[in-house]
């Protein structure tokens, strides 16, 4: 019998492998080779882009844009600050800004795999499958929002540290964050579908009890 959860099952497994293989290879490479970095770990340089400011690329540096000592300013659509030897704290912040979205994505894929395996074992129309689907929906909804806010705060902290006159503050990231509309809409849709499944499971159990 053909698996009704295909091609989602194969796609989720392939995506997990696609993310795990290069990440694992990078971690192993850090142990045995020089100049290998994973998510900013092992890389002495740090860069941050001030997305709240718009500039023209090239030409003279606009007033109010000045890199901090040890950093350099790269003019593009948005000013970009880089430091070759940023130090442990800035490297840690840079790693967090890269790691948080990856954790949300990988966890969502693992929840999908858990949902698929549970549905294959217990059936699609069960209360436990509906519960797993509900957990996935909440993770996409809450996890994406929290990740966007945390990443915004960390990015603002990096800009504030690498620039001398931007006036940027880390706490401004609590307001100036990009709303993950697609993740929110997807999460709400999954929560609605999980609720429908749960109601359907209850009605099915009631009918079986009546028969």
- Distance between CA atoms of 191 and 188, rounded to whole angstroms? 5
3-state helix, strand, coil in the chain (%, to 5): 60, 10, 30
Nearest residue to 15 (alpha-carbon basis) of 99, 111, 140, 138: 111
Relative to beta strand 80-83, strand 71-74 is antiparallel
pLDDT by residue for the chain (211 residues), tens digit each?
566 667 777 887 788 778 777 777 766 665 555 555 666 666 778 888 888 877 765 556 667 788 888 888 888 788 888 988 878 888 888 888 888 888 898 899 889 889 988 888 887 788 888 899 999 999 999 999 999 999 999 988 888 888 886 667 777 778 888 899 999 999 999 999 999 888 888 776 666 655 5
Say what the pLDDT of residue 205 is: 67
Q: Kindly state the helix (H) or strand (E) to which residue 13 belongs, with its residue range.
A: helix 8-32
Say what the pLDDT of residue 136 is: 94
pTM of the model: 0.78
User: Token digits for 198?
Assistant: 């749960």
Residue 73 CB neighbour total at 10 angstroms = 19
CA dihedral over 148, 165, 92, 84, signed as positive or negative = positive
Say what the pLDDT of residue 160 is: 87
- CA–chain centroid gap for 26, Å, is 19
């Amino acid at each position: 019998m053909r698996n009704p959860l295909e091609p989602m099952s194969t796609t989720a497994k392939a995506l997990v492998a696609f993310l795990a293989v290069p990440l694992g290879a990078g971690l192993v490479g850090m142990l045995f080779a020089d100049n290998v970095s994973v998510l900013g770990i092992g890389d002495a340089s740090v860069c941050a882009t001030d997305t709240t400011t718009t500039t023209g690329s090239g030409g003279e540096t606009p007033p109010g844009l000045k890199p901090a000592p040890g950093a350099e300013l790269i003019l593009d659509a948005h000013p970009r600050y880089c430091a070759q030897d940023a130090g442990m704290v800035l490297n840690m912040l840079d790693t967090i800004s890269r790691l948080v979205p990856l954790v949300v994505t990988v966890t969502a894929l693992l929840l999908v795999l858990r949902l698929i395996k549970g549905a294959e074992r217990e059936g699609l129309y069960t209360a436990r499958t509906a519960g797993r689907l509900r957990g996935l929906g909440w993770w996409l909804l809450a996890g994406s929002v929290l990740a966007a806010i945390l990443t915004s705060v960390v990015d603002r902290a990096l800009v504030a540290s690498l620039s001398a006159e931007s006036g940027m503050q880390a706490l401004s990231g609590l307001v100036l964050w990009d709303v993950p509309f697609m993740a929110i809409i997807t999460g709400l849709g999954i929560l609605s579908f999980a609720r429908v499944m749960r109601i359907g499971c209850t009605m099915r159990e009631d009918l079986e009890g009546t028969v």
